[in-house]
Amino acid sequence: MNLEELKLNWAAYDQKLDTRIRLNLRLLNIIKLNKTRSAMQRLIAILALDLVVNLIIVVYLGSFIADHITAPRFVLAALVLDVFVLLLIVSSIRQMVMAREIDYSGPVAEIQKKMETLRIHRIKRTKWTLVVATLVWTPLQIVALKAFLGLDAYALLGTGYLAWNVVVGVAVIALAIWVSQ
């Protein structure tokens, strides 16, 4: 074997090695993306369950409103809860769409960007849910006492107590917004 043949063989082996390295890197990326894909599938399943539960709550609140249509104080409380739950439904649907739009065959940077956008949306939803929950607590008391125990929260707790709950809820929201700034 002369020097030229040795150089040609060396170049051929070098080419094969480069091809195998690229293939191994591609397989490694596919394995990583499959882990990400399965995590997104779990997230979509959780969001679907959240969506179903919230839809059941909306239907129940609609039934509650229909049953108490002649009592505006109960209807108003149920409507506030209904709007809150409807916003949660919209957020769940939006997150599911965002998760399904991720193209795992695309560039890694684009996948990471979409996942980060989804993560930010989830964090914002959690933050606003916790903040607004302090205000939604009062209508929840009113509806829950009436729906499950047949009790009138206005008569049982007094309008002063319920009003203070709303005032404290607004104060907590203001404080939470100030702290988050």
Q: Is residue 121 within 8 Å of 95, Cβ to Cβ?
A: yes
Dump pLDDT digits (tens) for 27-70: 666 666 666 667 788 888 899 999 999 999 999 999 999 999 99
Q: pLDDT digit string (tens) for 66-96? A: 999 999 999 999 999 999 999 999 999 999 9
The predicted pLDDT at position 30 comes to 66
Query: Structure tokens of 56?
Result: 């059941």
Backbone phi, psi, residue 106, to 5° = -80, -175
Query: 7 falls in which pLDDT band (50, 70, 90)?
Result: confident
Q: How many helices (H) and strands (E) does the chain have?
A: 5, 0
Please tell me the distance from the alpha carbon of residue 60 to that of residue 66, in angstroms, as a whole number: 10
Q: Report the Cα 85 to chain-centroid distance in Å.
A: 13
Query: Greater confidence, 66 or 127?
Result: 66
Q: Locate 69 and state its tokens.
A: 């249509």
In this prediction, residue 132 carries a pLDDT of 86
For residue range 129-151, what is the model confidence (pLDDT) as tens digits?
Answer: 888 888 898 999 999 999 999 99
- Is the CB of residue 86 less than 8 Å from the CB of residue 58? yes
Whether 101 contacts 114, CB under 8 Å = yes
CA–CA gap between residue 111 and residue 67 (Å, rounded): 48
pTM more than 0.85: no
User: Is residue 108 over pLDDT 80?
Assistant: no
For 110-148, letters b (16+ CB in 10 Å) and e give ebeebbeebeeebeebeeeeebbebbbebbbbbbebbbe
What is the SS3 string spanning 82-100?
HHHHHHHHHHHHHHHHHHH
